[in-house]
Amino acid sequence: MATTATITLESLDIAGDPVNVSKTTTCTKAGTTTDLDQTTGLNRVHLRSTTNKVLLAANAEGNDLSAKVYIINKATDPTLYCTITINAQTVGKLYAGDWMFIPWSQTDTSASIEIAATNWTASTGDIPVEYALFHEDTDFLTNA
């Protein structure tokens, strides 16, 4: 049971020569070649909270284990963004259409991944976000 993630970064005009980077990783348990064997599957939520909400709750058992997180902002209005935070540390803003794929350490239970529809208003409509977690720890039910 394998999980693979491929990124392709392409641009014909951001530099004098074309840029084309492609990389595939097979998601494995920490420091091994054994495939990750658990996932939340793909989830979809509609955000309207301008303050942080827990998207993925950290589990201290996950520290030193492998976990990969995929998040995408499915809004179509380019001004609408959601802010991604880990343990009160802002990582970045996902604008409409943006996605991220990161490893997640869960250094402790404070290391939850939180999300806020920072510039949501009643007139903007909800911000649809899809996400998935791939992981190896054995007791990770809080994200169900």
Partner 1 sequence: MATTNAKITLSSDITDDSLSVNNESLLYTAGTTTGANTMTSVTKVLASTNQVDLITTGSVSTTHGYVYINNPDTDNTRHFKVTIGNAGGGSPTDTEEIGRLYGGDWMFMPWDVDDDICVAPSDGNDMTVEYMVFS
Q: Which residues bind partner 1 (CB under 8 A)?
A: 1-15, 19, 21, 23, 25-28, 30-33, 36-39, 41-42, 66-67, 70, 72, 78-79, 81, 83-84, 86-95, 97-105, 107, 111, 132, 134
Per DSSP, the three-state class of 41 is coil
Decide: 43 and 63 in contact? Cβ < 8 Å.
no
Name the residue nearer to partner 1 (CB basis): 126 or 130.
130
Q: State the minimum distance, in angstroms, from the CB of residue 123 to partner 1.
A: 16
Smallest separation, CB 107 to partner 1 (Å): 5
| Smaller CB separation from partner 1, 5 or 142 | 5
Q: Rounded CA gap, 88 and 14, in Å?
A: 33
Distance from C-alpha of 57 to C-alpha of 54, rounded to nearest angstrom: 6
Query: Shortest Cβ distance from residue 71 to partner 1 (Å)?
Result: 9
Residue 84 CA to residue 73 CA, distance in Å, equals 11
- Closest CB to partner 1 among 79 and 122? 79
Which residues on adjacent β-strands are paired with residue 53?
115
In the complex, the smallest distance separating the C-beta of residue 122 from partner 1, rounded to whole angstroms, is 19
CA distances from 28 to 60, 74, 132 (A): 19, 27, 16
* Shortest separation between residue 9's beta carbon and partner 1, angstroms: 6
Q: Which residues does 48 contact at the CB level (< 8 Å), separation at least 6? A: 117, 120, 126, 127
Task: Give the residue with the Cβ less far from partner 1, 97 or 142.
Answer: 97
CB closer to partner 1, 17 vs 122: 17
